[in-house]
Each structure stands twice: as structure tokens, then as C-alpha cells.
Amino acid sequence: MMTRFQQQGALLKDNGACEFRVWAPFRKNVTLLLLGGEDVAYPLTPEKNGYWTTTVENVTAGTHYYYLLDEQLQRPDPASRRQESSVHHASCVTDPNSFDFTDQDWKGLSPEKLIIYEIHIGAFTPEGTFQAARERLPALEALGITAIELMPVSQFSGDRNWGYDSVYPFALHNRYGTTDDFKALINTAHHLGMAVILDVVYCRTGPEGNYLPDYGPYFTEKYQTHWGPGVNFDDAWCDPVRDFYIQNALMWLDEFHIDGLRLDALDTCQDNSARHFAWELADAVAELEQQTGRRKLLITATDRNDPRYTNPVAIGGYGFTAQWADEFHHALHALLTGETQGYYEDFGQLSHLAQAFTQAFVYTGQYSPYRKRKFGRPLRDNDARHFIVFSQNHEQAGNRMLGERLSALVSFEALKLAAATVILSPFIPLLFMGEEYGEKNPFLFFTSHSDPDLAEKIKKDRSRGFSAFFNTSKSIPDPQLEDTFRRSCLQWDQTLPPNAAMLACYRFLIAFRKHRPAMQTGDQASLQIYPAGELPLLIIKRTSGQDAVLILLNFDKAVQTYHHMAPTPLKKIFDSAHEMWNGPGVKAVDEVLENEPILLQPFSAVVYEMAHHEE
């Protein structure tokens, strides 16, 4: 691992010695307390830039410890690798070399190869562990998935949480399993040809167990966020804070063999320095990529329609691999559901989805009715491989008042249409766990904080937010109840006829995307969106060399007729209305000549092969 970024934590050496390093620039003294038969205290020596360190011989993995600050405050390690019991108790020494990877031939995946499946470890399986998730990986391989994306797995308070409330970014949550369990999951994924992407949270820290302010200025009053003071990326003493998070990213990517990171809410990381934190992180990851010979991906989720995150550094960007395209989801969701509340006010027309297909962003500088201002910025390079699209994910389901998945909001035929729209798009597709078979359980917001006042505050804050969005007097499910979490877990009922048909449909669409040349290019020049007059149809042509396919998407509840005007004959490959997909029966003919009508069932997707590439 690169050493130009100061490492913190309990760093166990091969000879049995352990170096302890912590950043506490304003403390007069720092003492290490090793717990065992008899507690032993070791004073730490101050180093430059506010670091303190000591090396202790004969330390073994599993040893518990605290830091004592100015002989008054007993605190866990900010860079703890494991919290054996809770966020408030002792940290635990771990052995980073205890697991032997066998993925030496794995070099990672390029963006155009990604078909991502988002997972919450706790809700993915009945056991809710790394080991149980590992056992499900062959099923995902059979589906055609090439990458799993894990919601945050770092230590948070309690047993149940989405993970974005983590307070120890270097420690795996002990409910999910051990370090070796997690590495075994990654190792198996690589052997199955799947990359592993991990959500990390560098814009904030959870509300319970956050002892960072006791150590130093990890936060700054210069910026206020929804969660409180902003992380200190550009104020006095910010260098060690930046190092802290960059070192965390490098740990996941190097020691754990993680293939990519998704930085949650990166736009809330306020940084007005000449070298933005995101830029510095991308530079460090590129250096690691060179050292290891393995591709490493950086993905961001922002709410700004700003291309700078994926633009090259040479033109002022941050050089990230890709970013989530929320507006593709909003345009698709509003079209299928008819919802116009909240940010869906900006969507609902077929033209919005057509714009999303060509630009990823819908708003690129025009007026947004929802925001009451102009919003967004045009793309300079709109390579589709820079954007990840979806019909649902943890945010879009979980941040609804009742956590409804799309399967609870639209018809079975509309679900297949949504799947085809996402998977057959030129962008990187992402599936949310369970959608491939039409999971009916909701995905709710859940917590298990030990502080009752904090739990009540969170519930009230979410209730106020939902009353403005949904204009309803209904009460939200209590995030603290275990039942709220249990209701959010997958049922895995794939054998029911509709579910089996949905699963088969997803498998076909994914295989078609992976193996058809016209579907594998991310070049927007290979994509054409045809207007269908006043008809509620989206007509998409995708080409690669001599291979060309025509994709017809009907977003109306009535049968629609499309006239094929080009001289190129068509041969049908896929029709979501077919009985094999549990549909109502096809109306679109199998072969089409020039100016022949094509009948499209309501809420259906039809794909034709074009006999010859049009010049």
C-alpha cells in the first residue's frame, strides 16, 4: 500500500509487533490501554503534524484496546479495524494477512462489461452475513451479473442499519462476519468473473458513536450539511483528514482486493481547495492501479447534473469512472407510475426519457419546476460508459414513506418494460437485489440506535420530510422496530410462475446485452432515438459495424401501431408480451418488411434484428 498517506490504526507486523498510530493534534498526551488479564498502559510519542505513535511487542490479533486522551477521555480508535461489541467499546487488533487470496489472475473489469447488482448484506439473505451472500453468488452469475455493489459494510451502531450511519470507516460491521469472511466473499466473486464495488461514506459520519471530534478537527463549521458540520477537507488541519479517507479507500482497494468504490453524496463534500479531495483520491487510485495491474473503479452519486466528476483531469474534471444517473430513473419512474410529487414534478413526459437516453442528464441548464431555478450543465463527453442507470435502487425505494419497490407500484408488464429500458440502454445497468424476480417485500429505512432520543429525532425528521413529499397523514414504519428490517429482507420466492417468468426475462435481456455486438458499445454515435410522432413510443436503433437492432418501447396502456418505413427487413428477437414471459400474448409480427405495421401490446418492449446495416 502507498505510504505517502499517513496510516492510522493498529498496524500488526509479521514479527508480532504492533505499531499504534493516531492523529490528535490538540491533545497534550495520548496513552494506549491494552486490555487483557491486566490492563497495560503505553504512552504514545508525538510526531509531526499531530500524530502520536508507539510500537508494542508480542501483540496478537484479537487484542482489545482504547486510547486515553489527556488522561480523561477513554475512546475507541478512529481507525479501528474491528469493534468487537459496539461503537462505544474497545477496538480490536486484526491481522491483515490472515487470509490467502487465490485470485491472482483477476485483473478487474472495464466499465462496458459491468452489469451491477446492488446488495444490502443484512437484508440479502435470511442469515444476513458475508458467508451467506457468498453462497448466493453462483445464482447471480447464472443471472448474468458481472459486478456486485455492496451498500456500506463499515461499523455502525446496533445490528440493523443501511450502513450510511457508519462511524468506523476501517472496521467491518461485526454482525456481518469477520475480515476473512469478507475477503472470502470477494475472492469467490472474482473466481466467478464478478467485480466487487463497495459503497463508502466520506461526506459525513453517523450520529451515534462518532468520537472523531474528541481527537481532532475532522469537521469544520465552515460548511453545514443535512447531517451537521461538514467534513474538514479544506480548512486548517485538513491534510490528515484527507489522508485518513484516502488511506481508507486504498485499504479496501488494495488489501481487500475490492474493484471499485461508490462515494455516497460526493457533492456534499465541500472542498474549495485548488486540488479537490475527489481529484486527489482519483490520482491515488490511479497510482494503485498502475502498481497492482488491476483495474480500479471510482463511482459517485451526486445530485448536481455536473459532468466534472467523470470529466478527465486534463479539462478540469475529477477523472471518476462513472456516476449514477438519477434523472434516467426519475424520467422512467414518472412515466410508468404517473407520480408527480416532489422531484418527479420535473418529469412525466416521454421526451424526458428520450433526453435521458441521449444525454443521461435530463436537465442540462434549463429551468427546473421542482427547484424553481435553472439546473444542470451540458455534457462535453457523454460516453454512455460514464453513467449507471436503474429502474430502482436502495435510495429510490427506501426513501419512499412505505419503501415500495416498483413491483408494488406498476403492473407486471410495466416491470418487464422497465427492465428492458434499463438493460437495453447504452449505459451501465444496475439492478436492485430482488428486482430480477419481482420481489414484493418493501425496502424500508431501518436503524437500531441505542440512544432513544436519537431514534425519536430521526423518526420525526423523516416524517416531516415525507409529509411534504407525499402530502399524507399516514405514519411511517418505525425505523427502530426489528419488524421494519425483517419486512425489508428478500423472500427469494423465485419458483412462483410470475416470478420465474420475470427471472427468465431478465436472464434473456442480460445475455442479449452481453453477447450482441450492437449492445456492447457505449459510443452515443451508435445510438439513434426516433420520434414516433404523437405516439407514446420510444424507438431506439443501436448499431455496431454490420450489426443493428431496433428497440420499440410502448409506454402506453393501449395497443400502439408503429409503421416501419425503412427498406431494411426486420426479424423479431424479443417481445415482452410473449406467453413465455407470462405476458398477454404477442401482437408484433415476427418478420417485417418496409412500411408494414407493427402492433405493440400495452407497456411492452419489442426488439428486432435489422437484416443489413443501413448506410
- CB count within 10 Å of CB 339 equals 18
Angle at 432 (CA atoms; ends 162, 430), nearest 5 degrees? 120
Give the helix/strand (H/E) hosting 417: helix 412-423
Asked whether 195 and 146 are in contact (CB, 8 A), the reply is yes
Q: Name the most confidently modeled range: 172-186, 214-228, 372-386.
A: 172-186
Q: Is the pLDDT of residue 613 over 60?
A: no
Q: What is the DSSP string of 58-100?
A: S--TT-EEEEEETTTEEE--TT-S-BSS-TTS-EE---TTSS-
Beta-carbon contacts of residue 465 (< 8 Å; ≥ 6 apart): none
18 vs 612 pLDDT, higher one: 18
Angle at 556 (CA atoms; ends 551, 559), nearest 5 degrees? 80
37 vs 331 pLDDT, higher one: 331
349-384 burial: b if 16+ Cβ within 10 Å, else e: ebebbbbbbebbbbbbeeebebeeeebbeebeebbb
> For 103-121, what is the mean pLDDT?
97
Cell numbers found for residue 100: 490467502
| CA dist., res. 179 & res. 282, Å (int) | 25
Q: Is the pLDDT of residue 614 over 60?
A: no
50-103: pLDDT as tens digits: 999 999 999 999 999 999 999 999 999 999 999 988 999 999 999 999 999 999
Predicted local distance difference test score (pLDDT) of residue 16: 86
Mean pLDDT score of the chain: 94
Q: What is the CA 374 to chain-centroid distance, rounded?
A: 27
> For 243-257, what is the mean pLDDT?
97
Q: Is the pLDDT of residue 468 over 80?
A: no
Q: Is the pLDDT of residue 265 over 80?
A: yes
Give the helix/strand (H/E) hosting 344: none
Predicted local distance difference test score (pLDDT) of residue 543: 92
Q: Is the pLDDT of residue 444 over 90?
A: yes
Structural domains of the chain, ranges and CATH numbers in brackets: 521-610 (2.60.40.1180)
Helix residue ranges per DSSP H, 70-178: 121-124, 130-143
Q: What is the DSSP string of 585-613?
A: ---S-SEE-TTEEEEE-TTEEEEEEESS-
160-181: pLDDT as tens digits: 999 999 999 999 999 999 999 9
Predicted local distance difference test score (pLDDT) of residue 463: 82
At 615, the pLDDT band (50, 70, 90 cuts) reads very low
Q: Which backbone phi and psi does 172 adopt, to 5 degrees?
A: -75, 145
Predicted local distance difference test score (pLDDT) of residue 566: 84
518-544: pLDDT as tens digits: 998 766 666 888 767 788 999 999 999
> For 449-465, what is the mean pLDDT?
88
Beta-carbon contacts of residue 212 (< 8 Å; ≥ 6 apart): 78, 167, 205, 218, 219
The 3-class SS string of 428-443 reads: EEEEECCHHHCCCCCC
Q: Residue 27 is which amino acid? A: R
Helix%, strand%, coil% for the chain, nearest 5: 30, 25, 45
80-116 burial: b if 16+ Cβ within 10 Å, else e: bbbbeebbeebbbbbebeebeeeeeebebbebebbbb
Q: Residue 30 is which amino acid? A: V
Share of the chain above pLDDT 90, in %: 86
377 vs 524 pLDDT, higher one: 377
| DSSP state at residue 113 | G
Helix, strand or coil, per DSSP, at residue 267: helix
Give the helix/strand (H/E) hosting 168: strand 168-172
Q: What is the CA 419 to chain-centroid distance, rounded?
A: 18
- Residues listed for the chain: 615
Predicted local distance difference test score (pLDDT) of residue 524: 64
Beta-carbon contacts of residue 153 (< 8 Å; ≥ 6 apart): 121, 163, 172, 173, 176, 182, 198
Is the Cα dihedral 229, 235, 239, 242 positive or negative? positive
Asked whether 186 and 157 are in contact (CB, 8 A), the reply is no
Torsion angle, alpha carbons of 602, 607, 608, 614, to 10 = 110
| CA dist., res. 86 & res. 64, Å (int) | 12
195-225: pLDDT as tens digits: 999 999 999 999 999 999 999 999 999 998 8
Predicted local distance difference test score (pLDDT) of residue 532: 73
> For 534-560, what is the mean pLDDT?
94
Predicted local distance difference test score (pLDDT) of residue 530: 72
Predicted local distance difference test score (pLDDT) of residue 493: 92
Predicted local distance difference test score (pLDDT) of residue 474: 73
Give the helix/strand (H/E) hosting 463: helix 452-470
Is the Cα dihedral 386, 389, 393, 398 positive or negative? positive
Share of the chain above pLDDT 70, in %: 96
| CA dist., res. 45 & res. 52, Å (int) | 5
